[in-house]
């Protein structure tokens, strides 16, 4: 399926044939990350972490290389805030 990860908005579009590159990851979003793996439409999935940005990247790329049919996502973990702060963050986006 796909390796899904956040990139900086002003980063150049990566070449689709190029392998994923850690430099593309917006690693400054968070100190801790999760790797989410979805096996398919059966609903089997799992989350692994918290991990550093580099450890999460290496895990996600490794799983993606071994099982390209799975969907693998890198997700930043943010410090918890209030409901108002969360809503405001999405309202500003």
pLDDT grade, residue 1 (50/70/90)? low
pLDDT score recorded for residue 28: 79
Note the pLDDT tens digit of each residue in 32-67.
999 999 987 777 889 999 999 999 999 999 999 999
Q: Which whole number is the average pLDDT over 8-19?
A: 76
CB 17 within 8 A of CB 86: no
**Alpha-carbon distances of 92 from 29, 30, 75, 78, 83, rounded to whole Å:** 16, 19, 20, 17, 14
Ranges of H-type helices in the chain: 53-66, 83-92
pTM above 0.85, yes or no: no
């Amino acid at each position: 399926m796909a390796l899904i990860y956040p990139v900086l908005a002003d980063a150049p579009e990566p070449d689709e044939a190029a392998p994923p590159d850690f430099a593309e990851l917006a690693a400054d979003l968070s100190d801790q990350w999760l790797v989410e793996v979805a096996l398919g439409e059966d609903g089997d999935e799992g989350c692994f972490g918290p991990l550093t940005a580099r450890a999460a990247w290496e895990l996600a790329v490794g799983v993606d290389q071994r099982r390209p049919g799975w969907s693998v996502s890198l997700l930043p973990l943010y410090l918890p805030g209030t409901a108002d702060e969360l809503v405001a963050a999405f309202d500003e986006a």
